[in-house]
Structure 1
């Protein structure tokens, strides 16, 4: 592999893991999210220039932080009105116990994870539109590119770029403080925060792009944020429900990919490899969510219903012994509470296990004109599986090929093409 290409891959991996912490730490000290991300991006550009010639540093994340800090100082020096901040930041940079020092180096150090949580709440400030909150959080917290975010929401890249630029400008003009708000102010933000945390998890659970089907570092970051939120608002049922959902889904990680990284679908997974400790934690979180909901006189919310579905899967020994009628009922409730074409698509998969693929295929065909599914590989891939089970092999193979063409994740594309090839070598009606 070319040296520059290898460095770029390593840098991308480091950025995926470290970007939220770097941007969060910069934003806490500078008080300017736009400046923080610009400085971090300049550090990445510097790494691309220097690492191929000088080698990758022993601690790449610390190198990026140091360079980003210097870029922030330089930006402030260019602004004569902020000379006092320059002196303060420069002094802190030289003080190992200051905010730029190593964790544990001094009493003034604040844990990075608190910075990341602050970053999530700033990005989800009610001064922003919901679309802007989601896009900004996925950009600065998850480290997703604008192209990845655009594909995640099936919107043009330019639309995502505009949302992020406007969001940062709005936060700066509103002088939004870099802090976790008082609890009475959480209401307008908590729903969006939970939504973004789960989007972060789902991108880790099944990556929309790239060479890996699973990006565990993203999923683990989402789980960490979910646990922090559960500790901050222990009486909020949906916070515990989201933690339950993520724990239960993450329990599949050991069985979701083959040794070469190829995807393994639910029906083919070795369930003895599922992480039982995660399943226990997930079930405990779901019990806590139900208990808090009952105390408040509420029914299950959307995350609790999804967690309940995941719990049925987690407790089944096989696909055949899964309580599919129970899953269908839970999906029906979810469709009423939080309707979406993706939920209906998943419901159709469950229906196929109870009343057969023909009924499910009619449900899926009814979704073919849904705008939210256009350009997505999800509908043709589900339709292909149902057609194959109906014995309509030629049509199934065509749908698999369409799904593969639409898939942006290389591993998923390979799996879909393999399914099409498997069908091609079988006689019609096999």
Structure 2
């Protein structure tokens, strides 16, 4: 049965190509959606870029016919801008305020009432990223759905970067003696490149081993990481050892690290970056950047030059650097930063247009980036550089992203088959017992 999909503004602002995601069904946007999109097109961020993209798509649609009458889409189905069915009569008894959300709801409800009078009615479905909009639609008897086309994976299927295997203890002995374990031991089971394997005794003893799958050798091999500490930082659990192994392996040029607050993502990345730039001189510079996305209400414009404006946003980076330097030398962070000419801390705002070669790049809070922004950043990576993307997909401050549609989750899933990439999800909080409990309970 053909359907009529009524799109909310939030859908288009999160994915300007949403028009083409509904196969051979009818796609409708209320006129008020165009007004909301128009109000966002001057924004100098991802929302503004999407609004301008939507405007260009709609302008191209005009060449195909009158938008209020409907035009055919290449993927099948039709698209139209709904100018009628905007009467608020049915909603007045339930939602008094005449705001834009309620106007969109009114269009969906009135279309449904009209379709129900036909011999072969089409199902009307409101598509919105706004949970409250979906709740209100459901209360009105209108089917509502979240927009799923840009969701790369569900939270339960998210790639962890490692797997546990119960094996015969002789396999663990073989791994230690030979320095590898062929994947033929696991029959036809496939591993992703650079996926970690925790070998456990199937009979319940404490015997175990930790290895990484090498695509080149078709075997589970020991970790590249052999140091006890990196710039005074000691890995406290198996997942942190995996993270250091990826961070210090020069053959892996894209590293993604996820985990809840306090699991050590930023600390490990900074320690590895300092080792690679300051001690081993593999990279010319350590670049640390993070998106300027506030948690809660924005504090507005800040006084001072660029460095002074960025300092509040970059303070979490400086906190971790101070911890590393105090553990290593006990010197003051300001004095050390003056002496470190090849460590650069900046906002992602300034990364577009750059070509970054021979540098160790850390992008913090990457879960607040969209797929387009992530593509822009990763495509800046030049010859001989390594990029590390870290973040917690459970803590997203961008209103148009969620666990399954943010740029970090997108990169993890898209690159898990690639030999030059590696991922690990940190699960144990090491900041403090209180921080661990807060991450689990709150």
Return the index of the structure with the highest Cα Rg: 2
Give the helix-richer structure, 1 or 2: 1
TM exceeds 0.5? Answer: no
Give the strand-richer structure, 1 or 2: 2
Higher RCO by CA contacts (8 Å cutoff, separation 6 or greater): 2
Q: TM-score, normalised to structure 1's length? A: 0.25
